[in-house]
Chain A
Amino acid sequence: MTSVPKELDPAEIPPNCQPIITVRGLRNAFGEQVIHNDLNLTVCRGEILGVVGGSGTGKSVLLRSIIGLQTPETGEIDVLGENMVGRTEDEAKNIRRRWGILFQNGALFSTLTVAENVEVPIREYFPFIKPPLLDEIASYKIAMGGLPPDAGPKYPSELSGGMVKRAGLARALALDPELLFLDEPTAGLDPIAAAAFDQLIKSLQERLDLTVFLITHDLDTLHAICDRIAVIADQKVIAVGTIPELLALDHPWIQEYFNGPRGRAAAENYKEGATA
């Protein structure tokens, strides 16, 4: 195991950090197969944290554990100051109201239009909000997600891949969340759409003061919008930090990931973009 400097150790809370998600000693296993063992991670308020790792290292399982879809074997998970493990449905509801989740394939309800999809969480938590206010809220959320106004009355099967993601994002933003979970938001998008989606996330994060927990394989996304990056390998988060900080480590996976041909190309692009 490579030694990690203290400031990149995931168990440490960075200075000036107001923790919004804290994971301590998480262990997840499916039968004999251990996914996470003694995993630690802290997400600070107002940051965009990117989570990277090879396929099958349990990025999505980590997300599912944090949002309560997967009960861990052991470990502590605090989200927005509340302990997530072993909560009842009713207690969890109050926290669910304060986050939004964009699933990898959008997970839009296929029998509802985009606007109705956005209205689902609002109707569930605030049944007293009625049309026309309700419809107007859905409509500006759709615009916020970067969709044209005529997308509202469309069904998910009529949308392209990029539009499905934007509609999913609009639904995730429906309740004005403090915390946004994104599972591979740019996977399956063309580079132009992916770059536009990155910028959309960044601008929403600034405007709405969001904290973003983002799982991605997309090196461009990491360079363009992530404040810190958590690397999952060997069943735990091996380091958390900015890209230059991570590059200073001599862990083979991190080196290969950021210094491989694709990693270098993304870094070049980003440097050019920043100077231009």
Chain B
Amino acid sequence: MAEVTEQDADHGHGSVYRVAGALTITRAATTQRELDSLPDPITIDLSDIDRMDTVGAWIVYRTVRDRGAKVIGASRDEVSLLKQVGEFDAPARVVPDEPHNFIAGVRELGEWVVDAGRTLIGLLGFFGATLIAFAAVIRRPRRFRLNAVVQRFDVVGVRALGIIGLMSFLIGIVIAQQGSVQLAQFGAEVYTINLIGRITVRELGTLMTAIMVAGRSGSAFAAQLGTMKITEEIDAMRTIGVSPVEALVIPRILSAVVMMPLLAFWSMLTALIGGGIFVWLSLSIPPLAYIQHLHDVIPITDMWVGIIKAPVFGFIIALAGCFQGMLVQGNSEEVGSRTTTAVVQSIFLVIVLDAVFAVFFSSIGWV
């Protein structure tokens, strides 16, 4: 192993670094540390080395380069290896140059604004392209891809029944339980039914379904289209003459628009069943009385409020998912980030629109 000799008999000689055995990557860190601790001028004695790899040679080379060290006792092979690694000497740069602090901050802000503007314009453009494609399909119904749409119905709608049903059922129970605890303080437990009925039918059924569809299908749309973008499948489609918007985007948007109201209705139904079971077991109101009471307190307009919103939410979710998927470029990491953006954007837009709808329906007297 390494043997370090400091020749202090003659101060003019500085230090001698003698390595024995192998000078390889295995002991590169130690070698570098030992060399760093030695005073200049250094003489490196390689006469006892039996193996040297390029990393070992590099350490010797950089010591010679940076500190003017002298190398003695190198064999022919070692001299040639030292010369070879020297040929590969290049300025070391690991990450791209980045300006720091203020300028970087301003630039980031500017990039963010430009990015946001581009996204908005892009989304509008995408919306327009979708409408045009819809119009083209309506004009020539033979271009309509029934199989693709039906397959999407299955994936977006039928396969979501289980999870949406379970989620809504549990939410129905939670609302009933929390509501009954609060209303019991006024002795008004029976109003729990009003609470369950109106809140699930008017608001929560559709909203929870939209969030679930955004997480389940909106993300899938973005990831599918993004992956197809990376593997150049979408380019291939274009060159064959198949419009990607017609073949990929329209079936997805159509399936979300058609399935959302059905799923929302299913969600309302299961939430009411969940609430009903709680009411039955906890407040001893039998199912028939529960249904009769629901019938009395829920105006039919509540049902319309819930159902009318659903296809709009579905459209927003599918549009955001497909749009973000089509924006993917470059590497697979972007598929992930675009998918996240799609879900966040669609849930945000759904909640904003929900507020707009709430104001609208109140103002037309559907309260």
The chain A residues found within 8 Å of chain B, CB to CB, are: 110-111, 113, 115-116, 119, 122, 126, 128-133, 135-144, 149-150, 152-157, 175-176, 207-208
B241: interface (CB < 8 Å): no
Tell me whether B330 and A157 are in contact (CB under 8 A).
yes
Tell me whether B53 and A113 are in contact (CB under 8 A).
no
Tell me whether B28 and A133 are in contact (CB under 8 A).
yes
Chain A residues whose C-beta falls within 8 Å of the C-beta of B95 in the assembled complex: 113, 115-116, 153
Q: Shortest beta-carbon distance, B58 to chain A, in Å?
A: 6
Beyond A154-B96, A176-B54, is A126–B28 a contact (Cβ under 8 Å)? yes
Tell me whether B94 and A176 are in contact (CB under 8 A).
no
Query: Which of the residues B28, B88, B94, B330 comes within 8 Å of A152, measured between beta carbons?
Result: B94
Tell me whether A140 and B24 are in contact (CB under 8 A).
no
Digit string of B157-195 for contact with A (CB within 8 Å is 1, else 0)? Answer: 000000000000000000000000000000000000000
Chain B residues whose C-beta falls within 8 Å of the C-beta of A129 in the assembled complex: 25, 28-29, 32
Q: Shortest beta-carbon distance, B226 to chain A, in Å?
A: 14
Chain A residues whose C-beta falls within 8 Å of the C-beta of B93 in the assembled complex: 115, 135, 139, 149-150, 152-153
Alpha-carbon separation in the docked complex, A136 to B87 (Å): 13
Chain B residues whose C-beta falls within 8 Å of the C-beta of A130 in the assembled complex: 29
The chain B residues found within 8 Å of chain A, CB to CB, are: 24-26, 28-30, 32, 53-55, 58-59, 62, 81, 84-85, 87-97, 330-333
Q: What are 14 A-B contacts with C-beta separation under 8 Å?
A: A111-B331, A132-B92, A133-B32, A135-B93, A135-B94, A136-B92, A137-B58, A142-B90, A144-B88, A152-B93, A153-B93, A153-B95, A157-B331, A176-B54
Tell me whether B90 and A153 are in contact (CB under 8 A).
no
Q: Chain A: which residue is nearest B84 at the CB level?
A: A207
Chain A residues whose C-beta falls within 8 Å of the C-beta of B29 in the assembled complex: 126, 128-130, 133
Alpha-carbon separation in the docked complex, A230 to B97 (Å): 47
Alpha-carbon separation in the docked complex, A45 to B29 (Å): 29
Secondary structure class of chain B's binding surface, majority of residues: helix
Q: Chain B: which residue is nearest A203 at the CB level?
A: B84
Q: Shortest beta-carbon distance, B340 to chain A, in Å?
A: 15
Alpha-carbon separation in the docked complex, A126 to B26 (Å): 7
Q: Shortest beta-carbon distance, B231 to chain A, in Å?
A: 12
A-B contact count (CB 8 A): 89
Alpha-carbon separation in the docked complex, A262 to B114 (Å): 53
Q: Of A128, A136, A150, A208, which is in contact with the most chain B CB atoms at under 10 Å from its CB?
A: A136
Chain B residues whose C-beta falls within 8 Å of the C-beta of A122 in the assembled complex: 25
Chain B residues whose C-beta falls within 8 Å of the C-beta of A126 in the assembled complex: 25-26, 28-29
Q: Shortest beta-carbon distance, A167 to chain B, in Å?
A: 13
Chain B residues whose C-beta falls within 8 Å of the C-beta of A156 in the assembled complex: 331
Beyond A154-B96, A157-B331, is A139–B91 a contact (Cβ under 8 Å)? yes
Chain A residues whose C-beta falls within 8 Å of the C-beta of B91 in the assembled complex: 139, 149
Query: What are the nearest 7 A-B pairs in CB distance?
Result: A128-B29, A143-B88, A139-B92, A149-B90, A110-B331, A176-B53, A140-B88
A126-B25, A176-B54 given; name 5 further pairs at CB < 8 Å: A115-B93, A119-B94, A126-B28, A141-B88, A143-B87
Q: Shortest beta-carbon distance, A143 to chain B, in Å?
A: 4
Q: Chain A: which residue is nearest B52 at the CB level?
A: A176
Alpha-carbon separation in the docked complex, A132 to B63 (Å): 13
Q: Shortest beta-carbon distance, B274 to chain A, in Å?
A: 44
Chain A residues whose C-beta falls within 8 Å of the C-beta of B30 in the assembled complex: 128
Alpha-carbon separation in the docked complex, A188 to B7 (Å): 58
Chain A residues whose C-beta falls within 8 Å of the C-beta of B81 in the assembled complex: 207
Q: Of A113, A140, A155, which is in contact with the most chain B CB atoms at under 10 Å from its CB?
A: A140
Alpha-carbon separation in the docked complex, A141 to B90 (Å): 10
Tell me whether A135 and B92 are in contact (CB under 8 A).
yes
Q: Shortest beta-carbon distance, A99 to chain B, in Å?
A: 14
Tell me whether B89 and A133 are in contact (CB under 8 A).
no
Chain B residues whose C-beta falls within 8 Å of the C-beta of A133 in the assembled complex: 28-29, 32, 59, 62
Alpha-carbon separation in the docked complex, A119 to B89 (Å): 17
Q: Shortest beta-carbon distance, B360 to chain A, in Å?
A: 45
Alpha-carbon separation in the docked complex, A235 to B332 (Å): 35
Chain B residues whose C-beta falls within 8 Å of the C-beta of A149 in the assembled complex: 90-91, 93
Chain A residues whose C-beta falls within 8 Å of the C-beta of B59 in the assembled complex: 133
Query: Which of the residues B24, B53, B85, B94 comes within 8 Å of A153, measured between beta carbons?
Result: B94
Query: Which of the residues A131, A136, A142, A153 comes within 8 Å of B97, measured between beta carbons?
Result: A153
Tell me whether B92 and A143 are in contact (CB under 8 A).
no
Q: Of B28, B84, B94, which is in contact with the most chain A CB atoms at under 10 Å from its CB?
A: B94
Tell me whether A140 and B85 are in contact (CB under 8 A).
yes
Alpha-carbon separation in the docked complex, A191 to B153 (Å): 49
Chain A residues whose C-beta falls within 8 Å of the C-beta of B330 in the assembled complex: 157
Q: Shortest beta-carbon distance, A250 to chain B, in Å?
A: 43
Q: Shortest beta-carbon distance, A139 to chain B, in Å?
A: 4
Alpha-carbon separation in the docked complex, A207 to B84 (Å): 8
